[in-house]
Amino acid sequence: METLAMHISNGIIDGPVAAVFAAFALAALTGCVLRGRRDLDDRLAPMAGLVAAFIFAVQMLNFPIFTAGVSGHLLGGALAAMLVGPWVGALCVSVVLVVQALVFGDGGVAMLGLNITNMALLGTAAAYVLIAVLLRVLPRTPAGLAVTGFVAAMLSVVVASQGFVLQYWLGGTTDLGGNLAGLAGTMAGVHLLIGIGEGLITATTVVTVAKVRPDLVYALRGLRPAAVPTVPAVGGVR
């Protein structure tokens, strides 16, 4: 079951594939830096630091998945996307992953490109797409935000887990005997359960922030519906 960890350890994926994803992650994060600079303002900059610190702290709390014999923790992609946007959010999760790998040995240092691709880039991107869709359908009430955060977080974890399946197919060091579909199904099932915990944490956190300071929730600011132009009165009729 150790191969099911989202934090890929050294030796699970071969060197050439790890190097390719490291280059991809570096290029993508460079794009996030360039694009995220346009979003940073006096509200988003300090919020980004708080989000990274919160994700780092909550990731220390593991919740058991008894049916799978493993434990999971917050990945943070959906939470970061809702609070600080996809570009800055991906950077926040990446910083957390780097610190975890270098200081706590959570995930191999040589596998950082793979882990950042899955959890910071793929997970955050998938979450924000879902957030953008759901917030155009659901009311922007606490209940609507809670449902959006829960669904986006839960499904983004599953999407991130399938990134690992792709990487293992490209350069896994253990022969699965052609049972890639079995690996994909196992990863999806386990991480769907982990995603439920992720969704509850994300929904609770975002709704709490929105009730106190809705202006700090990027999703509410960045996904506003287009304003309806006013039509001037004609012939004295208001």
Residue 223 pLDDT: 57
Picking from 21, 178, 176, the residue whose alpha carbon sits closest to that of residue 107 is 21
Is residue 85 assigned to a domain?
Answer: yes
Q: Is residue 56 part of a domain?
A: yes
Residue 3 lies in a domain: no
Cα end-to-end distance, the chain, whole Å? 69
What is the predicted pLDDT for the residue at 88?
94
CA distance readout (Å), 71 to 1, 16, 197, 224: 11, 30, 10, 37
- Please report the pLDDT score of residue 71 as a whole number: 52
Alpha-carbon separation of residue 1 from 132, 135, 145, 183 (angstroms): 34, 36, 34, 11
Q: Give CA separation, 238 vs 39, 229, 235, in Å.
A: 39, 15, 9
pLDDT in tens, the chain (238 residues): 344 456 788 888 999 999 999 999 999 999 999 998 888 877 788 899 999 999 988 877 765 554 444 556 678 999 999 999 999 999 999 999 999 889 888 888 999 999 999 999 999 999 999 999 999 999 888 999 999 999 999 999 999 999 999 998 998 888 777 778 888 888 888 888 888 989 999 999 999 999 999 988 998 875 554 433 333 444 444 3
Assigned domain for 112 exists:
yes
Q: Is residue 233 part of a domain?
A: no
The stretches of the chain forming alpha helices (DSSP H) are 15-39, 44-58, 77-84, 86-99, 112-115, 123-134, 142-171, 180-212, 218-222
Let me know if residue 230 belongs to a domain: no
Domain-embedded: residue 6: no
Q: How many domains does the chain have?
A: 1
The CATH number of whichever domain residue 204 belongs to comes to: 1.10.1760.20
> Which pLDDT score, from 0 to 100, does residue 30 have?
96
Q: What is the pLDDT of residue 22?
A: 96
Which CA distances in Å does 163 have to 13, 33, 116? 12, 22, 11
Query: Long-range contacts made by residues 200-203, C-beta under 8 angstroms, separation at least 24?
Result: 200/150, 201/58, 201/74, 201/79, 201/153, 202/74, 202/78, 202/79, 202/82, 202/149, 202/150, 202/152, 202/153, 203/145, 203/146, 203/147, 203/149, 203/150, 203/153
Domain that holds residue 111: 15-221
